[in-house]
Amino acid sequence: WFADVPTAPKDPILGITEAYLANTRPDKINLGVGAYRDDDSKPVVLNVVREAESRIAGANFMEYLPIGGLKAFNDLSVKLAFGEDAECIKEGRVAAVQSLSGTGSCRLMAEFMARYMPGAKIWIPKPTWSNHHNIWKDAGVKEAIYKYYKPETRGLDQEGLLEDLSTAQPGDVVLLHACAHNPTGVDPTVEQWQEISTLMKEKKLFPFFDMAYQGFASGDCTRDAQAIRTFLKDGHQLGCSQSYAKNMGLYGQRTGCFSLITASAQETTSVESQMKAIARPMYSNPPLHGALLVKEILGDAALKQQWYEEVKGMADRIITMRALLRKNLEALGSPLPWKHITEQIGMFCFSGISPEQVDRLAQEHAIFMTRNGRISMAGVTTKNVDRLAEALHQVTTS
């Protein structure tokens, strides 16, 4: 039956973890997947999550959720993304379902586009998180690419971005990373977001924000939603994918929210019903435990405040590691510019090293990262930063 099934290539991100696990060096370092580690390289469960767990202990969380998930969780999530006082929420213009984290939200959007936005292309930045391409391709939606990153400046190619998006057709959807762009760590400034929003309004393009890192860019969840708020102020209808994997550390709980802003409360009813109709044959209904934890945290002012502080703590540790990595490379006398390490934000540093140099880091130093040169800064610690800097120095200079 299966003789003709070829072996699939390894995933460019999750495949790195497999290579890391297979390596036997005791000092190996995994800087592949974007998963937060503390300064002892240990995975972290936030104290606020532990508190929420203790509050829900004993509840029956073995029951099915409805297809659209936990309503209170969805309501709190869209408030976090769009603002407590967002007009669209007050007017009942947000259709939302609980999703299987960021990937699940994007996949629901892709399927929704295939059914209800016929002919619309998805515009994807170059580069982007590798799974974005798979998601829209598997849903049968055509993709178009817009320029985003300029290797020469290691910054945003705003001119190229605007130029490419101005060639999109009315009704096309543009995938935007709401903050902490993955993999580059390069975000538009407030003024650049404004320009993007204005152009997209003029061109009648639909914005879809992938917000996988709210809180991780600046340590402030409201500031990290600023791009979305700019688009809302300009009167866009938009879509949003939210994930609590990174900012609450709920990685394996697959906890997220997919929302679309509609034109009226009546439209919300139809759109939400179709979101559920898409979800039901795919996975029936989403998992309960993570959603209960998020509801507990976002629904309680004190816990929410504690969460804000803990996200900021994670973001700040990463910022400190950026400074240390750059300082070490400069102290080693590296002739290359490393300013971008501290200028980029979020979980990743787009180092600028070549795929061959990445391979050497793995083979000669047991340091693993994706072949596009992306370093997951969340895995850098005071204990491994020296070794990382020395290895980077070696492979970039000899």
C-alpha atoms less than 13 angstroms from C-alpha of 36 in its C-beta half-sphere: 27
Nearer to ligand LMR by C-beta: 268 or 372? Answer: 372
By DSSP bridging, strand 122-126 and strand 143-147 are parallel
- Helix H or strand E segment including 98: strand 94-99
Q: For ligand LMR, which residue has the nearest CB?
A: 34
How many angstroms separate the CA atoms of 380 and 376, rounded? 7
For residue 27, indicate whether it is catalytic: no
Q: Which candidate in 246, 295, 307, 338 is catalytic? A: 246
For residue 246, indicate whether it is catalytic: yes
Tell the smallest beta-carbon distance from residue 367 to ligand LMR (Å): 16
- Residue 337 DSSP one-character state: -
Tell the smallest beta-carbon distance from residue 243 to ligand LMR (Å): 8
How many angstroms separate the CA atoms of 315 and 296, rounded? 22
Tell the smallest beta-carbon distance from residue 241 to ligand LMR (Å): 12
CA-based nearest residue to 49, from 219, 212, 286, 249: 249
Nearer to ligand LMR by C-beta: 13 or 238? Answer: 13
Using CB under 6 A as the criterion, which residues of the chain lie in contact with ligand LMR when the complex forms? Answer: 13, 33-34, 129, 131, 182
How many angstroms separate the CA atoms of 280 and 58, rounded? 28
Tell the smallest beta-carbon distance from residue 32 to ligand LMR (Å): 7
- Can you give 347-381 as a three-state secondary structure string? CEEECCCCHHHHHHHHHHHCEECCCCCEEEHHHCC
Nearer to ligand LMR by C-beta: 98 or 182? Answer: 182
Q: Which candidate in 123, 129, 136, 307 is catalytic? A: 129
- Determine whether 234 is exposed, middle or buried from the number of CB atoms within 10 Å of its CB (0-12, 13-18, 19+): middle
Nearer to ligand LMR by C-beta: 33 or 173? Answer: 33
Q: How far is CA 82 from CA 73, 104, 226, 345, in A?
A: 14, 20, 9, 22
Tell the smallest beta-carbon distance from residue 358 to ligand LMR (Å): 15
Nearer to ligand LMR by C-beta: 106 or 353? Answer: 106
Q: Which candidate in 187, 210, 224, 295 is catalytic? A: 210
For residue 138, indicate whether it is catalytic: no
Catalytic machinery residues:
129, 210, 246
